[in-house]
Amino acid sequence: MSMNEDRVYYIYKDQFQKLRVDFVKLMDDIKSFLDAALSNGLLTYSHKESIISERDSNDQKRRLHEILGKKLPDESRKFVSALETSNHNKILELLDDPSVYPMKFKLHGRVILINNVKFPVGSNYNERLGSEKDVEGITKLFKAFNFDVQLYSNKTAEEMEGIIEKASQESTAREDCFVMFLMSHGVRGSIIGTDGKELSYSTINDALKKRSPLKDKPKLIYVNTYQFKHEKDNVPKGTDVSSTKENTCRSETQVKVDAECSSAVESNSEKEYIGQYFNVPDLYVTFATVPEGLALPN
């Protein structure tokens, strides 16, 4: 493993805390590590004195682990650099846990957020009022997670396809993850553009499949649409969706797990439904509703 100017090993406190026992066991040359950490500014002489004041060598390592934990994730680069300089390769291997996707760049990647609100007058698609609250929450959350959030509002089916194609083509090896939110009206197998036309999920899948920089990296797609079979099945303007037991049940899927609703769709059926359209490796797709269900504001 080697450092470079582009890569930042972003090590989280919780991740490092779980490695405490192994860290103590594998920190076999604490003097060399302290010298490297002092040299690159990771630790101060005050830190060093606090560590070496411990008489037992394992206690010194535990004290070092405690101090380092307080400096993560912000000082991840300096920490990894000190490990490399002092030849603690086994600890570096621990930080590259193969059971999890590595998140090693300070800017983890992009969030492509498409939110369609306005639709043709006279069509069967209402304005999606209130979706700006979802946009606000998503943006705030993913910026806090060090993602670049790119918002696209009110796009036709063709424009959405172009945005997704462009986003996948711009993906580089310097991204940990790719995230996309699709918020609009929809029918089964497709999302609806502001022109009332459909963009199939299979087309989206093909766009993501083409790009090798996304290989072996997590790709997340969140779809917030209705999933009716046909356009005519969408709820027309003015409909009171809470007026029937069936629709009331559907609306509650947004806010709690309702046994009566969820029993109708087993997890295997959901996987089969998603598998009809998406087959890209390392891809997680989730829908706001079950098929034939409503996605309603709370």
User: What's the pLDDT score for residue 216?
Assistant: 82
Rounded CA-CA distance 102/216 in Å is: 10
177-183 and 219-224 as β-strands: parallel, antiparallel, unpaired?
parallel
pLDDT value, residue 266 = 44
Reported as type and span, the H/E element at residue 90 is helix 89-95
- Ramachandran area for residue 15 (φ above 0: left; ψ -120 to 50: alpha; else beta): alpha
| Segment 79-105, tens digit of pLDDT | 999 999 999 999 998 887 666 777 778
The pTM (predicted TM-score) of the whole model is 0.64
**How far is residue 271's CA from residue 284's CA, in Å, rounded to a whole number?**
10
- Which one is predicted more confidently, 31 or 274? 31
**CA of 78: how far to CAs of 65, 72, 213, in Å?**
14, 10, 27
**CA dist 151 → 80, 156, 160, 180, 183 (Å):** 34, 14, 12, 10, 11
Q: Which domains does the chain have, with CATH numbers?
A: 13-95 (1.10.533), 109-287 (3.40.50.1460)
Instruction: Say which range, 2-6, 31-35, 285-289, has the weakest mean pLDDT.
Output: 2-6
Whether the CB-CB separation of 177 and 112 falls below 8 Å is answered with no
pLDDT of 298 strictly over 80: no
Tokens of 40: 């690159």
Please report which confidence band the pLDDT of residue 295 belongs to, taking 50, 70 and 90 as the band edges: low
**223-249 pLDDT tens trace:** 998 765 555 445 444 333 333 333 433
Q: What is the distance between the terminal CA atoms of the chain, rounded to a whole angstrom?
A: 48
**The pLDDT of residue 16:** 92
